[in-house]
Structure formats: C-alpha cells, structure tokens
C-alpha cells in the first residue's frame, strides 16, 4: 500500500529534491521555456447546498462575498454559480475553440452528472477532463471511507460521460488523506494538489514514485473573488504577462510550468474574458511557450525525466 505522501518534512524534502534531480537536462517540446496550462474548473452544481444535505450554503469563489447561510438556501449565491453553467462555460469554451487552444478541465463528478452537455463539449473539442472530486466541498472532515467512495464515483462518472477515465486528480480543498486515497485508487498519471513549485516533480512512496504537477492561486481568476485580489481584467492581464516573462527567463535554465486557473462563473464574465483574450494575443507568436493539456505535460515529463 502506498505510503502517505503528505508526511513529515524530511520525506517531503526528499521527494522534492528527487523532482529537481529528475529535471536535469529535460526540455519542453520545441525547446520551449514554459509549459503553459489553462485549467477550467467545472464546479457549478456541485457546491454546498442544503438541498444536497449540506449544513450550510456555499459562500466561496463568487462575485458576492457572504458568510455561509446555515440551514437554509442562499438563492443569490446559487444564481452566481448558475451563471457559470448557463453562460460562462460556453463563452470560455467558444474562445478556446476559436483560438484552437487546449485546456484541462478540473471537473467535479456531480457537476458533469447534472450537465452532461459540458462533458460532451470537452470531448468534441479535444480537451482533457481531469477529476476534481465528486463535489466542490471541503474534504478535511470527510471520513476517509466516504472520500474514497467519492474518488471512485468521480472516476466512473467521467469515464462514462467522456469515454475515458481521468489521468489527473485535483481536489482543491483536500484532507490529510487525499493523496493516499488517490494513490490507493490507482490509475492516475499525476495529481495537482500542490502549490509548492513552478515545475513538475516526483514524490516517492513505498510502491515507487508519483508525479505532481503543481497548481497556483496567484495567477488564478479566483482572485477576483478574494481580497486582496484583482479588481479589473487589466490587473489580471498584467500579472499573467509578468509571471510568464519571469518563468520564461528562468526556463532557459530549467523547465518551468505555469497554470492559469479559470472558473466558469468568474472568467466567463465579459470584462474578464476580454483580458483572457488579450493574454492569448500576447502568447500567440511566442516560441518560448508550449501550451498543453496537463496530461500531455505529465506524459512528456515521465518520458524524458531521468
């Protein structure tokens, strides 16, 4: 059985050092300096709601900032989330189709179950569907056996709706058991429940090694729903360009990976998607950037690392 990777500090540092050694001499395709991963979070319909048996309504990651409503529905928050599934997701997917750019969807199983047309569109457009848990909830107090059941249910739902089991995993609001349970389930090429590096790396466990593709919140559109955060699309655009430029400079010596996290209810708003369009304009002719799905980044890292 795989060891618990979220272990003591010595274990984590040993795994991180192993990742650095493995990247020696590795280059991205086309000798690019940065692997750029666009990630679309599919969460609408899986957030906390008393109708789904939750003790309180959702209050995170929307344009309305509020406290949880205990024991009752919050129709305003529900409406903010519904914007993502009614309008935002299609606006974002249309943009990526028009630009012929790939993305990875971090999809919750319940959201796809309730709106299978999203899964169909992801398949038609050739995007990757990675697993984002069964629901967009906090798993820290969820019993391990329930969390394990959710992992299995998510995998089977994505397999049924897309025709392929997910290669990647990202819970987001993890428990201390999450990575162990993901490894015990098996079948994943990577997980992204980490924010501790700007390059992929390996962690070791009793059965071998495990690939981590770190994610990031600083370049994420969720900062429109946090304070301090982004106030305008221009703020976000400037930050994305500056991040990419620094990573490209460093990537001349060591391969870097940049994640741009998107949410249907946030980046799908007109004023924000315009900033995303401008960022796509900025990278359109850059030869130092490889835009790829996370499963392709993981495959390249596995094939070319020492």
Instruction: Give the residue extent of every domain in the chain.
Output: 9-304
Is the pLDDT assigned to residue 19 strictly greater than 80? no
Q: What percent of the chain has pLDDT over 70?
A: 92
Split at pLDDT 50, 70, 90, the class of 206 is confident
Half-sphere CA count of 118, side-chain side, radius 13 A: 32
Q: What is the C-alpha separation between 299 and 306, in angstroms, rounded?
A: 13
Split at pLDDT 50, 70, 90, the class of 25 is confident
Q: How far apart are the first and last CA of the chain?
A: 25
> Is 70 in contact with 56 (CB distance < 8 Å)?
yes
Q: What is the pLDDT of residue 61?
A: 85
More confident residue, 14 or 263: 263
Split at pLDDT 50, 70, 90, the class of 68 is confident
Q: What is the C-alpha separation between 166 and 187, in angstroms, rounded?
A: 8
Residues 127-162: tens digit of each pLDDT = 999 999 999 999 999 999 999 999 999 999 999 999
> Is 265 in contact with 77 (CB distance < 8 Å)?
no
Residues 162-197: tens digit of each pLDDT = 999 999 999 999 999 999 999 999 999 999 999 999
More confident residue, 266 or 11: 266
Q: What is the pLDDT of residue 23?
A: 66
Q: What is the C-alpha separation between 284 and 280, in angstroms, rounded?
A: 6
Is the pLDDT assigned to residue 203 strictly greater than 60? yes
Least Cα distance to 47 among 304, 204, 263, 234 occurs for 263
User: For 20-34, 205-219, 250-264, which range has the lowest pLDDT when averaged over its residues?
Assistant: 20-34
Identify the CATH class of 9-304: alpha beta
Neighbouring C-beta atoms of residue 22, cutoff 10 Å: 20
Q: What is the pLDDT of residue 24?
A: 60
Is the pLDDT assigned to residue 16 strictly greater than 60? no
Read off the DSSP letter of residue 296.
H
- Average pLDDT of the residues of the chain: 92
Q: What is the pLDDT of residue 4?
A: 47
Residues 101-120: tens digit of each pLDDT = 999 999 999 999 999 999 99
Q: What is the C-alpha separation between 136 and 43, in angstroms, rounded?
A: 6
Mean local confidence (pLDDT), 65-75: 89
Helix (H/G/I), strand (E/B), else coil: 169:
strand
Is the peptide bond preceding residue 228 cis, with omega within 30 degrees of 0? yes
Q: What is the pLDDT of residue 65?
A: 77
Query: What is the dihedral sign for C-alpha 195, 94, 299, 161?
Result: positive
The angle that helices 144-162 and 116-124 make with each other, rounded to 10 degrees, is 60
Q: What is the C-alpha separation between 230 and 271, in angstroms, rounded?
A: 12
Q: What is the pLDDT of residue 37?
A: 99
Q: What is the pLDDT of residue 227?
A: 83
Q: What is the C-alpha separation between 166 and 2, in angstroms, rounded?
A: 20
Q: What is the pLDDT of residue 52?
A: 95
Is the pLDDT assigned to residue 10 strictly greater than 80? no
Is the pLDDT assigned to residue 228 strictly greater than 90? no
Q: What is the pLDDT of residue 253?
A: 96
Q: What is the pLDDT of residue 232?
A: 96
């Amino acid at each position: 059985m795989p060891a618990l990777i979220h272990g003591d500090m010595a274990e984590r540092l040993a795994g991180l050092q192993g990742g650095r050694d493995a990247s020696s001499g590795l280059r991205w395709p086309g000798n690019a300096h940065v692997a750029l991963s666009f990630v679309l979070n599919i969460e609408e319909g899986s957030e906390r709601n008393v109708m789904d048996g939750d003790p309180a309504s959702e209050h995170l990651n929307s344009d309305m900032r509020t406290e949880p409503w205990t024991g009752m529905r919050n129709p305003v928050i529900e409406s903010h989330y519904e914007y993502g599934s009614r309008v935002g997701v299609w606006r974002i997917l249309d943009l990526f189709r028009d630009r012929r750019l790939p993305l990875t969807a971090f999809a919750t199983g319940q959201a796809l179950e309730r709106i299978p047309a999203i899964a169909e569109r992801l398949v038609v457009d050739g995007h990757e569907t990675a697993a984002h848990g069964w629901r967009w909830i906090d798993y820290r107090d969820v019993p391990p056996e329930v969390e394990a059941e959710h992992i299995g249910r998510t995998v089977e739902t994505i397999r049924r709706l897309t025709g392929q089991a997910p290669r990647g995993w990202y819970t987001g609001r993890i428990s201390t058991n999450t990575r162990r349970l993901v490894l015990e389930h098996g079948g994943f090429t990577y997980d992204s429940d980490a924010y501790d590096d700007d390059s992929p790396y390996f962690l070791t466990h009793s059965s071998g090694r495990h690939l981590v593709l770190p994610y990031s919140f600083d370049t994420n559109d969720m900062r429109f729903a946090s304070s301090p955060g982004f106030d305008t699309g221009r703020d976000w655009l400037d930050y994305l360009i500056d991040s990419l430029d620094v990573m490209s400079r460093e990537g001349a010596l060591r391969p870097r990976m940049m994640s741009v996290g998107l949410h249907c209810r946030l980046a799908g708003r007109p004023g924000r998607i315009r900033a995303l369009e401008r960022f796509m304009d900025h990278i359109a002719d850059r030869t130092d950037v490889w835009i790829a799905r996370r499963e392709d980044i993981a495959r390249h890292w596995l094939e070319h690392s020492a």
